[in-house]
Amino acid sequence: MNTTFYDTIKNLEWDKVTESIYSKTERDVVSALSKPMLNIEDFKALISPAAEKFLEPMAQLSRNITQKRFGKVMQFYIPLYLSNECSNHCIYCGFNHNNPIKRITLDDEQILQEIKVIKSMGYDNVLLLTGEFPRHAGVDYIEHAIELCRPYFSAINLEVFPMKVEQYERLIRAGANSVYVYQETFNEKRYKHYHPKGMKSNYAYRLGTPERLAQAGIHRVGMGALIGLEEWRTEMVYLALHLQFMTKNYWKTKYSISFPRMRPAEGGFQADFFMNEKEFAQTIWAFRIFDNDVEITMSTRETPQMRNHFVSLGVTSMSAGSKTDPGGYSKPNTELEQFHINDDRSVEEMEAMVRAQGYDVIFKDWDKILN
């Protein structure tokens, strides 16, 4: 039996990893920035407080690497929320089973209405999202939604509940191109505090999802952590370890990472760990230098100013014109939102901003452009 990522980290001690990060020196940072290939200790240096004096050279290196690998191009994507029904009790999420919000799962007509609006924006790829409520939005429902979307989009991506290999194989046959699954926090001892009930409460099963996806033959896996739950530098080291494990063991699959910062949502959860904008920038640059090929995504959780700034500094994909409520494109209803958006500019406004910086915008899948 193959070694899993859980096997590789189960003996790591969270606090000792944190201590290791904070022990890094400026000399460690200089050494990391001089290397063509970085190890995890180098990454710790770039994510550490010692790197704060080196943000400018990190930014320039990130820009150069990104332009060399991806060109002067920004991919736009758009989420289509199919359902906000959820059996999980994640204490930070607006879709928490206990929250007194209106619940809805879109039917065929409503999905087609959403598709019509999204197509009118110019999109050729879409990200389908659901809560974790298999009774109403299970594998059959998601497969059918993919089939409804397939005539309209060249790439269909998913952010849905973790599944078995054979279920993913079925969705890939239906037309799924990529699947995004975020661990939320890698701190196993604290994981149950944030996920007390529901399918998502199983730490090891969720952690193994990228491996099952790669085994099923998915084209791209998206990974990440939710910033605000635990010490963010430590989260990022675990995410870097996860990315390193996947690229080594499942090298045929492409990878995307995201580190969404906590946003206000139904339930009023308050984050304990704050990442400021300089630290957010440092994180993006550290990952770009650590893995030149990984796609880095930035959503509408971030401010317009922040998103403007990162067009040329390491990010490769941004959402634009997004709604986080099911049916929100044809009939907006903020009562159904997963979280409150920070950047509500239209697709046209976002496209003009990107092009003003000398970058092209693509609405299709990356690989269809680059190949």
Asked if residue 55 is part of any domain, the answer here is: no
Q: Flag whether pLDDT at 92 surpasses 90.
A: no
199 confidence band (pLDDT: 50, 70, 90)? confident
pLDDT computed for residue 95 by the predictor: 72
Asked if residue 130 is part of any domain, the answer here is: yes
CATH number at residue 154: 3.20.20.70
SS3 of 314, please? coil
For residues 157-177, give the mean pLDDT.
Answer: 96
Task: Count how many domains the chain has.
Answer: 1
The parent domain of residue 166 ranges over 5-24+72-275+294-370
Q: Where are the alpha helices (DSSP H) in the chain?
A: 5-9, 14-22, 26-33, 40-47, 55-70, 108-120, 134-137, 139-149, 165-174, 188-194, 203-207, 209-216, 232-249, 277-290, 304-309, 347-356, 366-370
Q: In what order do the strands lie in the sheet with 295-298?
A: 79-81, 125-129, 155-159, 176-180, 220-224, 254-258, 295-298, 317-319, 73-77, 360-362
pLDDT computed for residue 11 by the predictor: 92
Asked if residue 349 is part of any domain, the answer here is: yes
Under 8 Å CB-to-CB from 4, ≥6 apart: which residues? Answer: 208, 211
pLDDT tens digits along 231-250: 999 999 999 999 999 999 99
Asked if residue 262 is part of any domain, the answer here is: yes
Q: Flag whether pLDDT at 286 surpasses 60.
A: yes
pLDDT tens digits along 338-369: 556 788 899 999 999 999 999 999 997 755 54
Asked if residue 239 is part of any domain, the answer here is: yes
For residues 72-80, give the mean pLDDT.
Answer: 95
Asked if residue 94 is part of any domain, the answer here is: yes
pLDDT tens digits along 251-268: 999 999 998 887 655 556
- Name the least confident of 68-77, 93-102, 140-149: 93-102
Q: Flag whether pLDDT at 46 surpasses 50.
A: yes
For residues 181-208, give the mean pLDDT.
Answer: 92
Asked if residue 288 is part of any domain, the answer here is: no
371 confidence band (pLDDT: 50, 70, 90)? very low
Under 8 Å CB-to-CB from 16, ≥6 apart: which residues? Answer: none
Per the prediction, the chain carries an average pLDDT of 91
How far apart are the C-alpha atoms of 332 and 245, rounded to whole Å? 41
pLDDT computed for residue 123 by the predictor: 95
pLDDT computed for residue 177 by the predictor: 96
pLDDT computed for residue 370 by the predictor: 45
CB 62 within 8 A of CB 51: no
Total number of residues shown for the chain: 371
Asked if residue 283 is part of any domain, the answer here is: no
Q: Flag whether pLDDT at 269 surpasses 80.
A: no
For residues 129-138, give the mean pLDDT.
Answer: 86
